[in-house]
Structure 1
Amino acid sequence: MTTHPDPERLAALATGDTPDADLAAHLAGCGDCSSDLEALRDLTGRLAGLEPVAWAEPPATVQAAVLAAARADTPAPRPRRWLLVAAAAVVGLVAGVLGGRLLWPVPVQPPTEIVLASTRLDTLDTGVQEGTATLVQTAGGAVELRVATIPVSAGDGYLEVWLINTDGKRMVSVGVLSNGTSGAFPVARGLIDAGYLIVDISREGLDDKPQHSGDSVVRGKLSL
């Protein structure tokens, strides 16, 4: 009885392995095996041409299931033809590693928030920390300044959050700290890139003056 090479051996040959003398002689005289090997080499070449993406190795049960299905579907009069299907499945596993790829994709993780910078917020006169400010890139790509402090009294007015430029001359208001303890404010990334890195919370009066009152409660500089 002629002994044919198993599917894994044919798959190894298809991906570049060198046959020994006995196997080479068998392939030279066996039309079925040489035909199967050529088909596997063609499949391997096609797999190698796939675009690189992020992939992960499939569970070990996948190969066994493919082989079992191939055996079950093979017509009885052609008992060796399942080798081609089984070997192709093996090549799918072996040749998939060519170029760092496998045939099963890794589930794409949803984008997450990224902390770009943070700072403690200290009182200007005593240097006591009373809050924090964090610059965050959201999952959607927007930039937010998130401020949290101990309860702060606004007096007869309100609390306003500012970004002051590192030149000490320019500042912009980013919003009102309405509850006196925390808030999230959208910020243009261009402001950060232009040096508006000093976070300041001030008490403002109920007047028509948009300028900073000069009464800063806490302040801190974002460190990128």
Structure 2
Amino acid sequence: MTDSNELPLDAVADRFRRAARSEPDWSSPSPGTWDAIAAATGLPGPAPATPEPAPAGMSRRQWLFGLGGLAVGGAAGLAVGWLTGGRDEVGDAVRRAVLTPLDQPSQQLGRAELLRRSVGYSLAVEVPGGLSNPDGYVEVWLINTDLTRMISVGVFAADEVGRFTVDDALIDSGYLIVDLSNEPFDDEPRHSGDTIMRGELRA
């Protein structure tokens, strides 16, 4: 991947700030996205979606700013750890997924592993040969198995392997479908509907 496709930390932070100001509806992906997910996974179609409430005592805007701070802080922490030679203590994989195109489920393009940490999990997404989007960026999502909810866990900006911190509560709540999508620079936080590959994390 060339330097032109990499997102600096300040660009990631700016994207979250713009998303917070726009008051997005996280529960409303692009038309047809849920139907495509259901067809690819073989799971039942979604029930009518209800918005995900922000944590108690926080407005949606405060919640989004918090997510942005966590994402940037996590990326900065990884950078510092790499520069100082520090290594995060990550355990064995507890779940794995084969990532395939929606229309070619037998063609493996990548894989994902959910690794146990002392607190939460580390989601490792590997795409041999790397992955880039010349017209935007590649985003990594976790989709709930009820097919009514999804959440972004970060931007795939690595040549071959991207690592993302995942909270226990997400996994316990059924966010087990890993999705990589092409996203344009359009200030729209919703899933574009342009999935590159997808797979369900299984024990």
Q: TM-score of the superposition, structure 2-length normalised?
A: 0.53
Match of 2:151 among 141, 165, 172: 172
Regions of 4+ moved over 4 Å: none
* CA gap 1:186/1:112 in 2 versus in 1, 3 angstroms: closer
C-alpha distance in 2 between matches for 1:194 and 1:202: 22
- Bigger shift: residues 156-165 or 175-184: 175-184
C-alpha distance in 1 between matches for 2:159 and 2:148: 26
C-alpha distance in 2 between matches for 1:133 and 1:223: 10
1:179 is displaced (CA, Å) by 2.4
- Does the alignment pair 1:146 with 2:130? no
Bigger RCO (CA 8 Å, 6+ sep): 2
8 Å contact from structure 1 (residues 155, 203) kept in 2: no
Match of 2:184 among 190, 205, 217: 205
Aligned partner of 1:62 in structure 2 is: none
- Does the alignment pair 1:137 with 2:112? no
1:181 is displaced (CA, Å) by 2.5
Aligned partner of 2:92 in structure 1 is: 114
- Does the alignment pair 1:181 with 2:160? yes
- Could you list the per-position Cα deviations for residues 103-159 of structure 1 after superposition, in whole angstroms to 9, with x for gaps in the alignment? xxxxxxxx8712110011011111210100000013x34311000013223131000
| Aligned 1:1-224 pairs, distance under 5 A | 113-127=91-105, 128-138=107-117, 140-150=118-128, 151-224=130-203
8 Å contact from structure 1 (residues 159, 180) kept in 2: no
1:168 is displaced (CA, Å) by 1.1
**What code does the residue aligned with 2:125 have?**
V
Percent of residue pairs bearing the same amino acid type: 45
SS in 2 for 1:129: coil
SS in 2 for 1:190: helix
C-alpha distance in 2 between matches for 1:169 and 1:202: 17
Unaligned runs of 5+ in 2: 1-88
C-alpha distance in 2 between matches for 1:155 and 1:125: 22
C-alpha distance in 2 between matches for 1:145 and 1:217: 18
**What code does the residue aligned with 2:185 have?**
L
Which of the pair has more CA radius of gyration?
1
* CA gap 1:141/1:122 in 2 versus in 1, 3 angstroms: same
Aligned partner of 1:69 in structure 2 is: none
- Could you list the per-position Cα deviations for residues 140-194 of structure 1 after superposition, in whole angstroms to 9, with x for gaps in the alignment? 3431100001322313100000000001111000000012532110000110010
